[in-house]
């Protein structure tokens, strides 16, 4: 294909493209609502993860405290013997 024909086709493409309407940012309300629901679900999941971490740490602290108390009780019982 000659350079002249290529330029002619490129010019026609540019004219068509320049006159074409722009795509809207959101093309499907159903998909948009699903995306919002997924974002809300992600937020709830993060909150659940934070809650689980809190209770896991509290349980570890309590177990450590119980172990220390049991050790202390054992020492006291041995002193009485």
Number of domains observed in the structure of the chain? 1
Q: How far apart are CA 78 and CA 50, in angstroms?
A: 42
**Full domain range(s) for residue 75:** 3-80
Q: How far apart are CA 24 and CA 43, in angstroms?
A: 27
Q: What pLDDT score was predicted for residue 24?
A: 75
pLDDT in tens, the chain (81 residues): 677 777 777 788 888 888 888 877 776 888 889 999 999 999 999 999 999 999 999 999 999 999 999 999 999 888 876
Residue 32: partners with Cβ closer than 8 Å, 6 or more residues away = 26
């Amino acid at each position: 294909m000659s350079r002249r024909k290529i330029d002619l086709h490129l010019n026609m493409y540019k004219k068509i493209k320049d006159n074409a309407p722009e795509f809207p940012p959101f093309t499907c309300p159903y998909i948009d609502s699903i995306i919002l629901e997924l974002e809300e679900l992600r937020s709830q999941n993060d909150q659940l993860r934070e809650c689980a971490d809190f209770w896991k740490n509290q349980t570890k602290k309590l177990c450590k405290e119980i172990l220390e108390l049991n050790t202390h009780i054992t020492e006291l019982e041995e002193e009485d013997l």
